Amino acid sequence: MSLKVYINGEILPQEDAKISVFDHGLLYGDGVFEGLRAHNGRVFKLTKHIERLFESARAIFLEIPMTAEEIKEAIFTALRANNMKDSYIRLVVTRGVGKLGLEPRKCSNPQVIIITDTIQLYPPELYAKGIELVTVATVRNHPESVNPRIKCLNYMNNILAKMESINAGATEAIMLNKDGFVAECTGQNIFMVNGEELYTPHPNSGILKGITRDTVIDIAKGRGMKVMEDFLTRYDLYIAKECFLTGTAAQIVPAVKIDGRIVGNGKPGQLTQELLKEYRKLLANPEVSETFESLETGYSRP
Ligand SMILES: Cc1ncc(COP(=O)(O)O)c(C=O)c1O
């Protein structure tokens, strides 16, 4: 069955879900996006994702032509149109159609696109085995250039880093910032365990402030752990007892090798596994995952 895609209020079959070649989202990567997940009909941290979308849009002077509540409704409309309870949701807002040339003010009608599909970043065996990471030469975007806090449509920085990790035979790339501090991976945040403490790069290290990252910090603090958001070096990575990556698509992935050095005993760490278990439990928790029914929007079901 063909997937149905939401574009500007319409639900279209995948084959007809098209936008103009003059859209600046395509021509210049001018736009913002979010990646969310639905589990059993609940969208995890929906409000947080929508807030981040609006913040990204504000940072690039992009006015989203819908309210947060309308976007929530649209997400559930797309899920229902596909009869999907479990899904990876890609929410995209492009600058819209314009003339050739960068001028964003000449673009009309930002396009709001919602794709509800599935995603598998890594095969399941890698969660059991752990992945190998390498630090790469491609530096994470300078915060005064395109701040990595903006989840924008231009991911070339990340794609170049990803290519480097592929060329090096590793699963994922660790990007450093302009000062040489650890930033993040190409689509995930990074954590490490040292002593009794959990460490992750400071939000001003040149990272996207991941929603999974913040969730893991909360889980760890709830367990009474000390969590340090810090400026971390490759040395900190090399002496880590455990290391893992976080992201909406990947959830929590253990890393067992960094730049050829074995992490801990070379197996996914104990704490990493416990955090993943707790994270997966949270996905079903109504307090953090919104359902269609939890929205009092007046939208009538088809
Ligand atoms: C560059 C980057 N870092 C981190 C993340 C993780 O963010 P979240 O946990 O909100 O999915 C993503 C997610 O897409 C990302 O693109």
- The whole-number pLDDT of residue 166 equals 98
Where does the pLDDT of residue 301 fall: very low under 50, low under 70, confident under 90, or very high at 90 and above?
Answer: very low
Locate 57 and state its tokens: 């849009």
Q: Report whether residue 150 contacts ligand 1, using a CB cutoff of 6 Å.
A: no
Q: Which fold has domain 4-119?
A: D-amino Acid Aminotransferase; Chain A, domain 1 (3.30.470)
Higher per-residue confidence, 249 vs 292? 249
Query: pLDDT-derived band of residue 235, with 50, 70 and 90 as boundaries?
Result: very high
What's the gap in Å between 235 CA and the centre of ligand 1?
A: 24
The protein residue with its alpha carbon nearest to ligand 1, atom 14, reads: 187
What pLDDT, on a 0 to 100 scale, did the predictor assign at position 121? 81
Domain segments of the chain: what residues?
4-119, 124-282
Q: Best substitution site from 36, 90, 165, 189 to test ligand 1's pocket, by max atoms within 8 Å of Cβ? A: 189
pLDDT tens by residue, 152-192: 999 999 999 999 999 999 999 999 999 999 999 999 999 99
Q: Model's pTM, two decimal places?
A: 0.94
Nearest to 137, CA basis, from 152, 121, 157, 154: 157
Assigned CATH class of 124-282: alpha beta
Query: Does ligand 1 lie within 6 Å of residue 213's CB atom?
Result: yes
- β-sheet bridge partners, residue 227: 198
Decide: 211 in ligand 1 pocket, CB within 6 A: yes
pLDDT(294) > 80: no
pLDDT of residue 122: 86
Residue 286: which of 36, 88, 45, 74 has the closest Cα? Answer: 45
**Measured between alpha carbons, how far is 237 from 217 in angstroms, rounded to an integer?**
18
CA-wise closest residue to 53 among 81, 86, 75: 75
Contact 240, 272 (CB under 8 A): no
**Mean pLDDT over the full length of the chain:** 94
Measured from the Cα of 34, ligand 1's closest atom is: 14
pLDDT of residue 291: 65
Mutate which of 51, 188, 200, 211 for ligand 1 pocket (most atoms within 8 A of beta carbon): 188
